[in-house]
Structure 1
């Protein structure tokens, strides 16, 4: 039996919280007042004290689903820039969308806007030299984060996986999307990846900007200039947002604390969507313990179109343990699932660049928004419901009967699991 033999189509009733076909308008602003229940306030204080980063109030969040919504919003924001554009990305590959971003960044630089572009030295290595030349010639300040040729073997393993765009210090974007043709479209077929980004206005923009500044400072001598106004952030909406940065280091990290708090705080439901699922034994055990205490734990992962099969094998090694604890595992069928989202009890959510794997939690620079907002979380839950209807469940009995060849493949990646 192959791994695909162990999956079965999710029933139409897989969406318990939304009727079939029902989704909220993804691009509508979410300005409803954040919940103030005792449980939510307790979660906020846990996050603030255990991570040491204050949450901010008065934020407007706009969830953007897939490239058809994400890229136009980002490009429109760049076109509107009057003072500064700061952009960082792990992936900057090829295709028309890569040329579109290069063209708009170059145009703003020629117009006198300070434009900074930070590219990861490994993830963005496929960018076309012509685009770099165009942007550089227009005055875009380009920096590379840890180009492998310059690095010790230790530093080469620690990448900048953050995705952020900050325009005029007032509008920010973050999430899972890279700049490449794979993210264009609306996840209708294998060539159009499924992902989610979020547009932010309000005090939380400063946290996203700080993530950019942290990595820019490593790569460039000039941290700020006359284009930076350091203006007060207006209160634009009702979302409470904590911006959490993960950085490569030794020992327990803030990103691990963030996810640990969300799991241990869940009372009814914990939903995880991730592109790369390869956790360590601690988080596998925590997922199981969360399910065993009565929380409905649902995991949505890539299916047949995953682009990193070694990572998939590392995660599949844990399926039996998770399924036996009552965790639900689904695999998305139409295309590559690349979103990185957690929702808890319909009131709290995490969204950003962090995957549920060792690489994101231990090795890479990451950014996540911890959001306390029922309306925003409802949109993400509705997206989860829609994605679940396009997914296949992992059947526990069938998985236990999977082929010996599959088991051998899972074991074969054991030596490299910590790097996946």
Structure 2
């Protein structure tokens, strides 16, 4: 295994890197640039600019492609680049993107874009219905990539100012970490029955000016068809690694029993743990009810729980000791840990971690805290919903 260049990385940060590499078997790459993009008002223009600048290839994978102006914009621009001779490959999850406008689909296909559907919903393949690809990946010319939590739908097209504009974080990457994004795309593309290998390869190279101050990035792609994936390993690992502080932002908080126990153990050994999750605005009441079953033991152990108030909170960020951040498409729930194909990126880069820490504080200020006293005083109806949630949690 080639050791990444860790010039300028303090030894204590290098310890996190080695622990994650040794556990997951995937090295970090050096020489990367990363830019965080907060909310659709910044995410979509950056993605569209990259697509418009494409000269050779576009690989695009998404779980959600719904209605709205942004769906029309993306479809038009992808079609335009295909007409210009750029190789455009679009992979859509057949469950998450089922309501995609037919007109957008026809425009892209007529223009020459290759469109494939991941695991079409067929009754005789009922075992595949519950295992989707939840990855969100865009790779342009094998030189710039995007990943995170954003879907292509009107709900993300804004700045989290009201319930119609979801709160999201996405990332723009350049450097060798792009190879990991492309590999995640290709694994799903090949499963969809398409030719995945290239006539010629253009590999992403380390950026010379990022050698010392660039980001160390580890890319983990997981396939979950047996009720467990390395996403669960990753999340449990960072809980174990945390020494001082663990800050979790997630769109769906439904930890399994083992993860709840690990969070409680970490809190009891003195780790400050804060969890931000959706509040009154959520697209999955089932997930919220299922997650509430874990509140009692977490609160008793000292874990602080917060519900975001302005709109749906859909970001996926785990900050560990101001040393490493884990992000990507995975939520802190059963589906991401055991049912869906996901992509996660672990980042060691002080400026990015500092900025995400500020984002966390800003988001927490827009939350209401769930207190232990209020939770202990909850009514019979709430307790009944928790019982139902316990039964539903494997699907949440």
Q: Matched residues in 2 for 1:97 and 1:221: separation? A: 27
Identify which of structures 1 and 2 has the higher relative contact order when contacts are C-alpha pairs closer than 8 Å and 6+ apart: 1
Equivalent in the alignment of 1:419: 395
Equivalent in the alignment of 2:50: 77
Deviation at 1:358, TM superposition (A): 0.6
2:16 maps to 1:40: no
8 Å contact kept, 1:35–1:373:
no
Q: Matched residues in 1 for 2:286 and 2:41: separation? A: 29
Q: Matched residues in 2 for 1:290 and 1:300: separation? A: 17
Deviation at 1:111, TM superposition (A): 0.2
In structure 2, relative to structure 1, the CA distance for the partners of 1:122 and 1:34 (3 Å cut) is farther
Equivalent in the alignment of 1:112: 85
Equivalent in the alignment of 1:344: 320
Q: Matched residues in 1 for 2:235 and 2:44: separation? A: 28
Equivalent in the alignment of 1:19: none
8 Å contact kept, 1:110–1:139:
yes
8 Å contact kept, 1:274–1:339:
yes
In structure 2, relative to structure 1, the CA distance for the partners of 1:153 and 1:34 (3 Å cut) is farther
Q: Matched residues in 1 for 2:251 and 2:204: separation? A: 36
What secondary structure is seen at the aligned counterpart in 1 of 2:122? helix
Deviation at 1:399, TM superposition (A): 0.9
Deviation at 1:35, TM superposition (A): 5.9
Task: Report the TM-score, using the length of structure 2 for normalisation.
Answer: 0.95
After the TM superposition, which residues 244-393 of structure 1 pair with which residues of structure 2 at under 5 Å, given as runs?
A: 244-250=220-226, 252-393=228-369
Q: Point out where structure 1 has 5 or more consecutive residues left out of the alignment.
A: 1-32
Equivalent in the alignment of 1:11: none
Deviation at 1:157, TM superposition (A): 0.6
Per-residue deviation, residues 371-412 of structure 1 (Å, max 9, x unmatched)? 011111111111000001111111110111111101101111
What secondary structure is seen at the aligned counterpart in 2 of 1:169? coil
What secondary structure is seen at the aligned counterpart in 2 of 1:148? coil
Q: Matched residues in 2 for 1:241 and 1:261: separation? A: 16
Match of 1:206 among 173, 179, 195: 179
Q: Point out where structure 2 has 5 or more consecutive residues left out of the alignment.
A: 1-5
Equivalent in the alignment of 2:379: 403
2:202 maps to 1:234: no
- Cα-Cα RMSD: 1.3
Deviation at 1:232, TM superposition (A): 4.3
